Amino acid sequence: MRDAAPGKIFLKDYKPFGYLVDFVHLTFDLSPHATRVTTKIGFRPNPEAEDKTFFLHGEHLKFISATIDGMPVTPLITAEGLTCHVPPHDFVWETVVEIDPANNTALEGLYMSKGMYSTQCEAEGFRKITFYPDRPDVMSVFTVRINGDLPVLLSNGNKVATGPGFAEWHDPWPKPAYLFALVAGELINHPGRFTTKSGRDVELNIWVRPGDEDKCAFAMEALRKSMKWDEDVYGREYDLDIFNIVAVDDFNMGAMENKGLNIFNSSAVLASPETATDLNFERIEAIIAHEYFHNWTGNRITCRDWFQLCLKEGLTVFRDSQFTSDMRSAPVKRIADVIDLRGRQFPEDAGPLAHPVRPESYEEINNFYTATVYEKGAEVIGMLKRLVGDDGYARALDLYFDRHDGQACTIEDWLTVFQDATGRDLSQFKRWYSQAGTPRLTVEESWEGDRYTLTFTQETRPTPHSPDPKPQVIPIAVGLLGPNGDEIQPTTLLEMTDATQSFTFDGIPSKPVPSILRGFSAPVALDRKVSREERAFLLAHDTDPFNRWEAGRALAREILTEGARTGAPLDGDFAEGLRNVLRDDSLDPAYRALMLALPGQSEIAAALHAAGTVPDPMAIWTASETLKDQIARLAEAELATLYEEMQVREPYAPNADQAGRRALRNAALAFLNRRDGAMRARAQYSAADNMTMQLAALGCLLAAGNGVSELEDFYDQWQGERLVLDKWFAIQVMQADPWGAVPTTARLTQHSDFMWQNPNRFRAVFGSLAGNHAGFHAADGAGYRLLADWLIRLDAVNPQTAARMCAAFQTWRHYDAGRQLNARAELERIAATPDLSRDMTEMVGRMLS
Ligand code: TRP
Ligand code: ZN
């Protein structure tokens, strides 16, 4: 049978489990279709718990036997787990079950990927391995024996015994079951070492399938840097003698922080200059850091229940952003994070999938690994840090690690630590965790005598979760510029707590130009009527790099929304402003490349919707093309100069400096390509000796309607490299024009390399379709229909990835009646599919409600 459906789960219903677990001994007898799992658990009644119901989760398990203290018992088994009469004192529980990893296509629990065994237990996958209290507040020490004739047998913790056909692992750190991991296969290791600051010598390994061993060096270096950084910045040391990372081809997400045995999507580990782009390298560095940082924020201190997911994810995303800022460029990282937040989290918060950073109910927890929990969760921590200051933050974090090490905690615990460490009352701040929706901030200014006043008003759209939103604490970083562009008021932090609030600056001799929300100091939508001249002034003079970029971004957004709404020719203000930025050699190339990146078409659609206009995807596409043509024409000289100047002549290295120059060169190429008959792109394609330059050139050729032979050539060159083949699939859909997107996607689904059960390949094709705004939103509904067809097919084998991808429909109500009709029909068709998963049922239900 399919997944069990226990209905809605509520935060307010939390109760501790009736038993404590003193130890867990797991024995795996591996076999592709009949792996035996013998589980021995030391239970003891939990004195803190009133309810002593003995319920163990278990799904899709073939029950063989159960004993209590050696005596056979007959538990009552349902689709969700088992109950049994148990003694009122300590007892040893033992079960034997059988599972079928080879037929596990959901990639949750124990499954097989290309001949290797692997696990994914977060959030609730351990119950597909054995009967267990599968909840994060039940922590225990695990000992694992793996019997199998594969050369590499791995689990959490330290290896305590090994011999032909078996290995035994012991993890001394108590942990919840979601951090359990097992890997077995014919794997090769890329070894490394790290000595911690107190002198512990740690063995590091990255395990990959044969053929991939030459793509591990970068990830190993990233791991060593992460370990050092966490010691230097947070004082956190690694706590085992070995740290293993394994790369797996079939994986639902980026990676998983299992204690001492991180498991990674191979796309988040493997890289060589020839096969990976600069962005791939940067993402790998960030994900390695993220999973490593979880060792303290997630593993040593974990979550009491899944409603507290942001406790570990928001904090760990915040930490990995800090790491990337330190390793690379802080302003560039900040801008990239805000682009991502606006691109993924703002739409979520503005639509039917909106939920608080700490949700209060769910049907399927896998549906809550969202941009809101992760990215907005990280923004909330960034605000907290700004409000209490760097010292306050450092004291609070020390107290957090001190007080809660070894515990399963809540957001209340987290905020209490900050209150205790800094003396600050955070009761109002806590609303950031409980209210959904993006606050909209409007501003009025006045200047009289030498007093300058800024008056802010905040407003949050009511959602079903928060029907009556209250004012939130908003840290607003502000600076003031004088008429000649000098900074007359350096960045100062205003703390807004009321619905409407004024802040005054005295001794301001002339009307200043304000630079508001510097560094994007709060995840709000700043809605301020600003003249084109003022934006251009900020673009030229703002000393805050984020707001300088933001000025250009806002200008481009306004020009595009106006162009899409009226169809009128676009004025050249933005292109003019850009020319100055492009010529400014004092600016980091990576930063200038971000200046050249125009707001995406879905961002324009969202802006139109927010302003009360129904977005027309074709009009947005046309405006966007027009602006690109205009920039290419007006800034051609600057772009051509940059294209030459930014050529990297040293041997390829994936560092921030080189990556920045390549990014700017490729950004220039995309514009020049509109004027030079794709001459440069063709030359760049043939000369490229790394994937960054090769793929960018191919993208330009496809965008220009060329590149047929290069596309074939690329396929021939890379058909043996699955991660590169993903790029080959993706780029064709991304670069297709609005008429070509759906037919191209449909054709690619017929390709013999379209291994649709592999999440990376499925995402390469359908993630790109969803990202091709005008193509996906084709007026005849063909984009919606094609995606729905495949989501229905995928849901039957992998509900988790299918449900994540169906969020592509979340903005469907923003469009015109015809599109709404088409989208609704597809959502209803999905909803009516027999045996639809719980994951999909919840997602589609929320989007239709
Ligand atoms: N904890 C993981 C992370 O953020 C997320 C994750 C990986 C995950 N795989 C998963 C969550 C599968 C749910 C299901 O690093
Ligand atoms: Zn995480």
If you average pLDDT over residues 216-220, what whole number do you get? Answer: 99
734 Cβ inside 6 Å of ligand 1: no
* Dist CA 243 CA 260 (whole Å): 5
Backbone angles phi, psi at 845, to 5 degrees: -60, -45
Sheet with 182-185: strands ordered across: 109-113, 116-120, 182-185, 152-155
What share of the chain has pLDDT > 70, as a percent? 99
Q: 290, 282 in Cβ contact below 8 A?
A: no
What is the reported pLDDT for 6?
A: 64
* Dist CA 152 CA 183 (whole Å): 8
What is the reported pLDDT for 2?
A: 38
Q: How far is the CA of 509 from the centre of ligand 1 (A)?
A: 54
Closest CA to 821 of 787, 758, 779, 788: 779
Tokens 């000595």 identify what position?
195
* Dist CA 631 CA 579 (whole Å): 9
Top mutation candidate among 252, 284, 366 for ligand 1, by most atoms within 8 Å of CB: 252
Pair of tokens at residue 654? 């994936």
The model's pLDDT over 653-678, given as tens digits with 9 standing for 90+, comes to 999 999 999 999 999 999 999 999 99
Identify the bridge partners of residue 112 per DSSP, sorted by sequence position.
117
Residue 608 is which amino acid? L
Model confidence at 465: pLDDT above 90 = no
What is the reported pLDDT for 466?
A: 84
DSSP string covering 605-638, please? HHHHHHTT----HHHHHHHHHHHHHHHHHHTHHH
| Residue 774 preceded by cis peptide, ω within 30 | no
Q: Whose CA is nearest to atom 3 of ligand 1?
A: 256
Q: How far is the CA of 315 from the centre of ligand 1 (A)?
A: 14
What share of the chain has pLDDT > 90, as a percent? 98
Closest CA to 124 of 23, 244, 297, 6: 6
256 Cβ inside 6 Å of ligand 1: yes
pTM of the predicted protein model: 0.98
DSSP string covering 736-793, please? S-TTTHHHHHHHHHTSTT--TTSHHHHHHHHHHHHH-HHHHT-TTSHHHHHHHHHHHH
Residues labelled as active-site residues: 291
If you average pLDDT over residues 25-42, what whole number do you get? Answer: 99
Q: How far is the CA of 321 from the centre of ligand 2 (A)?
A: 12
252 Cβ inside 6 Å of ligand 1: yes
What number does the ligand 1 atom closest to the CA of 313 have? 4
The model's pLDDT over 94-138, given as tens digits with 9 standing for 90+, comes to 999 999 999 999 999 999 999 999 999 999 999 999 999 999 999
* Dist CA 440 CA 425 (whole Å): 24
Model confidence at 381: pLDDT above 90 = yes
The model's pLDDT over 305-358, given as tens digits with 9 standing for 90+, comes to 999 999 999 999 999 999 999 999 999 999 999 999 999 999 999 999 999 999
Q: How far is the CA of 414 from the centre of ligand 1 (A)?
A: 21
* Dist CA 785 CA 583 (whole Å): 46
Identify which ligand lies nearest to the alpha carbon of 251.
1
Q: Is 505 helix (H, G, I), strand (E, B) or coil?
A: strand
The model's pLDDT over 149-200, given as tens digits with 9 standing for 90+, comes to 999 999 999 999 999 999 999 999 999 999 999 999 999 999 999 999 999 9
Q: How far is the CA of 120 from the centre of ligand 1 (A)?
A: 8
Q: Whose CA is nearest to atom 1 of ligand 1?
A: 256
Q: 688, 697 in Cβ contact below 8 A?
A: yes
Backbone angles phi, psi at 204, to 5 degrees: -110, 140
The mean of the pLDDT values for the chain is: 97
The DSSP 8-state label assigned to residue 179 in this structure reads: G
The DSSP 8-state label assigned to residue 568 in this structure reads: P
- Helices assigned H by DSSP within 673-750: 679-687, 691-703, 708-718, 722-734, 741-749
What is the reported pLDDT for 787?
A: 99
Model confidence at 4: pLDDT above 70 = no
Q: Is 443 helix (H, G, I), strand (E, B) or coil?
A: strand
Residue 730 is which amino acid? A
Model confidence at 1: pLDDT above 80 = no
253 Cβ inside 6 Å of ligand 1: yes
313 Cβ inside 6 Å of ligand 1: yes
The model's pLDDT over 76-86, given as tens digits with 9 standing for 90+, comes to 999 999 999 99
Question: For the ranges 1-15, 391-405, 406-420, 757-771, which has the lowest average pLDDT?
Answer: 1-15
Alpha-carbon torsion 397, 398, 399, 404, what sign? positive
Q: How far is the CA of 40 from the centre of ligand 2 (A)?
A: 30
Identify the bridge partners of residue 118 per DSSP, sorted by sequence position.
111
The model's pLDDT over 532-580, given as tens digits with 9 standing for 90+, comes to 899 999 999 999 999 999 999 999 999 999 999 999 999 888 998 899 9
Closest CA to 754 of 772, 736, 768: 768
Closest CA to 609 of 550, 525, 544: 525
The model's pLDDT over 603-627, given as tens digits with 9 standing for 90+, comes to 999 999 999 999 999 999 999 999 9
119 Cβ inside 6 Å of ligand 1: no
Pair of tokens at residue 702? 């496809």
Q: 528-542: string of b/e by CB count within 10 Å (b at 16+)? A: eebeeebbbbbbebb
What is the reported pLDDT for 573?
A: 84
What number does the ligand 1 atom closest to the CA of 800 have? 14
Model confidence at 377: pLDDT above 60 = yes
798 Cβ inside 6 Å of ligand 1: no
